[in-house]
Each structure stands twice: as structure tokens, then as C-alpha cells.
Structure 1
């Protein structure tokens, strides 16, 4: 069972002097942030629909990247794992883990491709 714990880093030399941690497990993604006021956000892997890796020139120079997860979560439809190491490996892990989680739950992602407009035409 693979699991990642990463810390948000400064762009300056990729140093981990922030109060944000990311916990990536096979069934859940958790973001814990804050020092005085602690905030914890969870998202089940089966809700992750797409994952994007963004690495600016500065990030690439210090060996970090940003992973953006597009989810079906109502509180955070876009989860951003900013300035993390092993970004490509983590992105691939999230893609595979989310697909496996959907298979286990037998969840299907569908797109709305104008079916409401077709229903309206059929009703006339």
C-alpha cells in the first residue's frame, strides 16, 4: 500500500518552511494547513476526476511542482498541492488510485453533453 506525505515548500530553494502538509493515501487525499488556526480538508479518491501537473521554470530549477486535482467534491472542486517534491510520481499515483477507487465503488464518471436540450426537443 503506497502512501505519500509531502509538505508545501517555498519556491526559494524548495525549503519546507510552511505549515501545510499533504497526505495522499490510496483511498483519501488530506490537506492540513495552518499554525494558529488549523484547517483539514479531505477528499475521497473516487471523487478525483482529473489530475494536472504544473511546473514553472522556478519550480523545475529546485525540483518541485504543483499538482492540481479536479474533483467532484462540493467544498473544494479544485484541490491544489502546491510546490511539492516528487510531483510527477504523486500525480501518477493519484490518477491510478482514483481509478482503482472508482472501480472498487463501481462509480462511473459521466459528462453532461446537452441531454437536457435533447429532452426538450423530444417533448415538443
Structure 2
């Protein structure tokens, strides 16, 4: 699906972090001598947002922030990548496809307070 190397602030790919994904998972591989790889199942991603600092915009980069229910990665960022909006859209669509395929729903109303008028069953008068 997608593969990108984390870049320095100036856009050069001289880091040892590689982000990649397939149709079911997102991978974060780090290290040079000692490598580690974390994965997050796409259906566990709850929210996706993009930030672009002034320096990132100058070099055509951006950061995708992911809020997940994954225990090992938790909330994490895909930092300093090119074509950030296209990657975000591709990732967002893949997440929705996997959530539908796995029949996963999230509770969108966490912390939702009931409106005072919703507590009454019938009509009320002032």
C-alpha cells in the first residue's frame, strides 16, 4: 500500500525510521544496528489528523497524528513525510474499509452530556 522514510526537518531521508502499511496493518520500523518493528491494525485507528509546521511546509513535509486503541503503540505520529495529505486520505480510506470489514464500531459519544430537555419523556411546560 504505502512506504515512506521519516525525513529530517529539511526533507532529507537520513533517518532510520521507516513507515509502511498494507491493506490491514501500519508498520513503524526503527533502528540501524538494532532494529525494531511495531504494527498497528488499521481497524484500531480511531482518529487521524495532520499538522504542518512552517518549516515542514517549506520542504513539502507534514506529520500525521494517529489516535489508536493499540496497546503497544498507543497514540503516535508519522513524522516528516512527503505528500502528507495524500497519505492521510489513503490511510483514512483503508481504515474505514477495515472497520467495515471487521464490523468494528467505536463509541462516538464518550463524554457526551445529555441535554436537559432529553431527560423528560413527555411534553413539559415552562
TM (norm. structure 2) is 0.84
Higher percent of residues as helix: 1
Q: Alignment partner for residue 113 of structure 1, among 111, 115, 119?
A: 111
Partner Cα separation in structure 2 for residue 70 and residue 96 of structure 1? 16
Structure 1 runs (4+) greater than 6 angstroms displaced = none
In structure 2, list runs of 5 or more residues that go unmatched.
Answer: 114-126
Task: Tell me which structure has the larger Cα radius of gyration.
Answer: 2
**TM-score of the two chains, using structure 1 as the length reference:** 0.85
User: RMSD over aligned Cα, in angstroms?
Assistant: 1.4
Matched ranges for 1:1-124 at <5 A: 3-12=1-10, 14-110=11-107, 111-113=109-111
